[in-house]
Amino acid sequence: MGLWNKALSLLNNRFGSVPAAADSTLPNETVPGSSETGTRATPEDRMRYLYRQMWIDTELRATILDIRRMDRIDGRVKRIHARVARDTIKGGLVLQQPTESGVIKREWDAFQRRLQLNRVEKLKSDVRGLIIEGNLPVQWVLDGETRVAAAIRMPAETIRANVDEHGRFADVARAYSQWDFMTGRDLADFPLWQLTLARFDPDNFDDMGSMGRPFLDASRTTWKKLVMSDEDLVIRRKMRAPLRMAHVLEGASKEELEAYRKTVEQDQARGVTTDYYLNRKGGVSPIQGDANLDQIGDVVYLLDSFFSGSPLPKGLMGYADKLPRDVLEDLKRDYYDEVDVIQDTASFVYDTGFRLHLLLQGINPDADAYKLTFAERRTETPTQTTDRALKLKALGLPQGMVWEELGYDPANVEQRRKWESANLDPYPEPPAGSGQRVSITPGNGRKGESGTSVSNG
């Protein structure tokens, strides 16, 4: 039970002022403005608190269902979600340590393999769920009472945080519940240590019951207008674009006109291109289709509005018409910042699960400094990444920080260097005074990057 108390104490410290004991609750009545309880209740919070006791967030559920439908039927939305998820997990998860710690490294390697966090499919599924649902609830499944055996992503629209009117957990032994829409009751309750919930852009971070928002939640209305305009455009082209013929038969009776029409339409239905022969005064003249079918400015406007609310620039999705290069570079830089935020949000969940595992193993996770993050912090080319690392090295930053910027574990790099020096290098002792010299010429590289030159001294 001592390990369980340590785990609860750790999670309490990470999630705010919640009771340390599993069976204790926050007081129902508090003094307004009290710093001890963190009171911040407003009339809106009180109404939300009463609503949460009976039901989950139906507005969030409706938003998630809409975005899932958008992802299924629209390739543009599916591409956005897939591209952001792929860029986020690029390089996979890495454990960075400024000092060597064999215990932490061994535990992380086993933890990563056991929870399949070394597989691209698992990481992409989790991050894609975070983007579509705006939340990443992960349930930690234990193998006995000694280690975390699995990380199960839960559907965010069924999760309810059991908080009081101040937005704090009332009971850490029942922090979250999963709602069943078929039966109208809770399926299960989860203590705070068993379910970790990462929220993306919540309305109030300090309110533990305020759920995150999906990436494209504010673009749903624009997307519906865009789809409607696309369909209307296709219908308009189908109805008004074809060339039509006007047949004029002077003095023809109704029966004669009907027989002539059937003959002409029968030939056209068989795909036969025929001439028209008339035995009375008349004529056949063409009627051109709509000459304004190329005027689709309203569709272009809706397309611009939709992508202005998405994390990806329109130019990166193939719509690069009349888009200046410098504007595209600014949009790409903003997109990379969004990817960094998603990486930090997702890695927080995995870090919490790993810390729980260390506590169950009797290891203090704060005894040795480490950082769990994704390997590539920015979606850049290798040349751009190397250029940035060389600039940091020229500024005099420690070599370990430069390796971290490149996405490598400094301890692992140094260990690998020593092993190769002892086993592979035929000249383990370099001559005195030798080494690499790095020279940087600003603005001399491609796209305004610095020109770099590495030479052996």
* Domain range for 241: 233-317
Same domain as 103, residue 49: yes
Alpha helices, H only, 89-175: 102-114, 120-133
Same domain as 207, residue 253: no
Report yes or no on 343 lying in a domain: no
Same domain as 237, residue 212: no
What's the pLDDT tens digit per position in 158-186? 998 888 877 788 888 999 999 888 887 88
Global confidence as pTM:
0.67
Per the structure, the count of domains in the chain is: 3
* C-alpha R_g of the chain: 32
Please, are residues 354 and 72 in contact by the beta-carbon 8 Å criterion?
Answer: no
Please say which residue of 279, 299, 317 terminates a domain: 317
What's the pLDDT tens digit per position in 207-253? 888 889 998 888 888 888 888 877 777 766 666 666 677 788 777 88
- Structure tokens, 335: 């997109």
Same domain as 280, residue 173: no
Long-range contacts of 30-35 (CB under 8 A, 24+ apart): 30/166
Neighbours of 246 (CB within 10 A): 9
Report yes or no on 243 lying in a domain: yes
Please say which residue of 187, 216, 245 terminates a domain: 216
Report yes or no on 333 lying in a domain: no
Same domain as 182, residue 284: no
Same domain as 8, residue 134: yes
Please, are residues 116 and 138 in contact by the beta-carbon 8 Å criterion?
Answer: no
CB within 8 Å of 170: residues ≥ 6 apart:
25, 26, 162, 163, 164
Report yes or no on 452 lying in a domain: yes
Same domain as 24, residue 173: yes
Report yes or no on 245 lying in a domain: yes
> Whole-angstrom Cα distance, residue 61 to residue 338?
24
Please say which residue of 173, 191, 216 terminates a domain: 216
Tens-digit pLDDT string for the chain (457 aa): 455 555 555 555 554 443 333 333 333 333 333 334 455 556 666 666 666 666 677 888 889 999 999 999 888 889 889 989 998 998 888 888 766 667 888 889 999 999 999 999 999 999 999 999 999 999 999 987 778 999 999 999 999 888 887 778 888 899 999 988 888 788 899 999 999 999 998 888 888 888 899 988 888 888 888 888 777 777 666 666 666 777 887 778 888 788 888 877 776 666 666 666 666 677 776 666 565 555 666 677 777 777 777 777 776 776 666 667 777 777 778 888 888 899 999 999 999 999 999 998 888 888 777 888 887 776 566 667 777 778 878 878 787 777 777 767 676 777 777 777 777 655 555 545 445 566 666 666 666 566 666 665 5
